[in-house]
């Protein structure tokens, strides 16, 4: 390991970056595995499922992310991975919401809220504070609200 990494800390930072890349690749594979192009709402459901501990792999990923996040609160190098200036997931969700008919500015705000919310509510499943069914009802509520609202609701003018 010393040949590849200067120290344990460098290994941890690299592992977090690799976990991010692996999660992104897995999400893209699940999207590509769909039999037909999905409507925006269904596409968001597939993406959000990747952030919920629905099976052993995703549960393990949630636990690892939680541990990394806790450590990142006192570790600037790990925090930099979490606090990157880039927000690819939020941008993807915003693009899908825009495709679904929301105004671009509103879509970005909704995407920020949805991504933060799904990350946090996934922890509720880990803690057994909420069931998967209860979390799905919350997600469905928000997606229904966004995709059934009239376009005037989302205008920024």
For the chain, the structural domain boundaries read 8-154
In this predicted structure, the answer to whether residue 155 has a pLDDT above a threshold of 80 is no
pLDDT at 13: 83
If one compares 8 and 122, the residue with the highest pLDDT of the two is: 122
Q: Are 94 and 104 in contact (CB under 8 A)?
A: yes
Q: Are 57 and 148 in contact (CB under 8 A)?
A: no
Tokens (6 digits) for 67: 């541990």
In this predicted structure, the answer to whether residue 144 has a pLDDT above a threshold of 90 is yes
pLDDT band at 152; cut points 50, 70, 90 = very low
Average pLDDT of the chain to the nearest whole number: 86
Tell me the CA distances in angstroms from 121 to 39, 52, 128, 129, 142, one per residue in order: 24, 8, 11, 9, 13
Tokens (6 digits) for 135: 């979390």
pLDDT at 149: 60
Q: Are 93 and 146 in contact (CB under 8 A)?
A: no
pLDDT at 34: 81
pLDDT, mean of residues 109-122? 93
Percentage, residues of the chain above pLDDT 70 = 93
pLDDT band at 1; cut points 50, 70, 90 = low
In this predicted structure, the answer to whether residue 114 has a pLDDT above a threshold of 60 is yes
Tokens (6 digits) for 34: 């769909």
In this predicted structure, the answer to whether residue 143 has a pLDDT above a threshold of 90 is yes
The secondary structure element, H or E, covering residue 90 is helix 88-99
Tokens (6 digits) for 72: 């990142």
pLDDT tens sequence across 81-99? 878 788 888 999 999 999 9
pLDDT at 5: 80
Q: Which CATH number fits domain 8-154: 3.30.2310.20, 3.40.50.150, 1.10.357.10, 3.40.50.300?
A: 1.10.357.10
pLDDT tens sequence across 39-72? 999 999 999 998 899 999 999 989 998 898 899 9
d(CA 18, CA 1): 16
pLDDT at 150: 44
Q: Are 108 and 94 in contact (CB under 8 A)?
A: yes
């Amino acid at each position: 390991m010393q040949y590849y990494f200067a120290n344990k800390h460098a290994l941890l930072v690299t592992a977090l970056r690799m976990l991010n890349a692996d999660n992104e690749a897995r999400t893209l594979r699940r999207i590509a595995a769909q039999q037909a192009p999905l409507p925006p709402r269904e596409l968001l459901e597939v993406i959000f499922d990747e952030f919920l501990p629905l099976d052993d792999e995703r549960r393990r990923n949630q636990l690892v992310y939680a541990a990394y996040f806790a450590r990142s609160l006192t570790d600037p190098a790990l925090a930099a991975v979490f606090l990157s200036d880039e927000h690819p997931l939020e941008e993807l969700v915003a693009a899908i919401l825009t495709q679904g008919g929301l105004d671009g500015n509103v879509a970005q705000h909704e995407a920020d809220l949805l991504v933060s919310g799904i990350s946090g509510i996934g922890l509720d499943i880990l803690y057994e504070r909420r069931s998967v069914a209860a979390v799905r009802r919350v997600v469905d509520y928000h997606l229904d609200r966004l995709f059934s609202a009239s376009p005037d609701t989302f205008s920024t003018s």
